């Protein structure tokens, strides 16, 4: 996670390195793979603040207050990884106000950010609803197939967001990963991103064990070589182990 410091504030940016190395306190997004109900609710507060924001690019104060910087950083990472679904850049800030850490948000175009988020949210909900009567394994396969069929790899390497994947059907690996991740989470499945080098894929808890899938490589190479392979198979997979 890139964190831009300035006097009396920090900005929590979106990306996190595969190594997960940062010099600040708080939990990494990779350590918060399960759903945090409190953070989910607070994420809606950020969106409400954006929706009510009057000036593009201005600092918008939210109603979110934390007792510690660690909590503020953890929330920021969780927000970028698991809540915000738009492409428009949104930046969170935490100001120390009398020992309390108050969250502010800034965005060049708040209306666009809220609209993009809602578009992706609605599309994901439509997909999840279509397989609502299936079992967990069948849902996971349905989501894999949906991402496989609807997303192509962005050769320009410019389209990196879930919005690019879900709404435009074109993204790098994180677009594939985040689309599948959020479909699973919205359906109540336990799913996590996995990182190595400059690549990412998913693992899903199915039938009492982790099953791995790399939709990006499957789609790019043609076939389903990495569709829900076991931990043992992943441990022996030379392509991923050499990243």
Phi and psi at 21, nearest 5°, equal: -95, 120
**Residue 59 bridge partners (DSSP):** 106
pTM value? 0.87
What kind of architecture, by CATH, is found in domain 131-241?
Answer: Roll (3.10)
- Residue 52: its pLDDT value, please? 86
Spans of the chain, pLDDT less than 70: 1-24, 30, 54-57
Could you say which DSSP state residue 29 is in? Answer: G
**Which residue has tokens 């076939």?**
223
Half-sphere exposure of 117 (CA within 13 A, CB side): 22
Give the Cα separation of 21 and 232 in Å (integer).
27
- Residue 30: its pLDDT value, please? 67
- Residue 15: its pLDDT value, please? 40
Phi and psi at 228, nearest 5°, equal: 60, 50
Give the Cα separation of 126 and 121 in Å (integer).
9
Q: Residue 216's closest CA among 240, 238, 234, 236?
A: 240
- Residue 168: its pLDDT value, please? 98
Residues 6+ apart with CB under 8 A from 81: 16, 29, 32
Residue spans of the domains in the chain: they are 3-111, 131-241
- Residue 58: its pLDDT value, please? 82
């Amino acid at each position: 996670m890139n964190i831009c410091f300035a006097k009396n504030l920090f900005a929590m940016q979106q990306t996190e390195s595969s190594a997960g190395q940062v010099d600040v306190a708080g939990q990494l997004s990779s350590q918060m793979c399960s759903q945090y109900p409190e953070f989910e609710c607070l994420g809606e507060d950020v969106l409400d603040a954006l929706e009510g924001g009057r000036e593009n690019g201005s600092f918008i104060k939210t109603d979110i207050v934390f007792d510690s910087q660690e909590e503020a950083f953890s929330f920021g990472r969780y927000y970028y990884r698991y809540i915000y679904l738009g492409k428009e850049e949104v930046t969170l800030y935490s100001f120390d106000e009398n020992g309390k850490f108050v969250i502010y948000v800034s965005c060049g175009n708040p209306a666009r950010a809220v609209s993009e988020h809602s578009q992706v949210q609605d599309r994901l909900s439509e997909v999840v609803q279509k397989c609502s009567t299936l079992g967990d394994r069948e849902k996971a396969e349905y989501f894999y197939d949906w991402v496989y069929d609807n997303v192509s790899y962005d050769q320009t390497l410019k389209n990196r967001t879930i919005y690019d994947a879900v709404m435009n059907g074109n993204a790098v690996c994180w677009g594939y990963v985040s689309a599948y991740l959020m479909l699973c989470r919205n359906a109540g499945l336990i799913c996590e991103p996995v990182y190595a080098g400059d690549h990412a894929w998913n693992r899903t808890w199915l039938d009492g064990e982790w099953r791995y899938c790399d939709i990006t490589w499957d789609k790019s190479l043609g076939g389903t070589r990495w569709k829900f392979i076991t931990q043992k198979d992943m441990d022996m997979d030379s392509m991923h182990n050499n990243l």
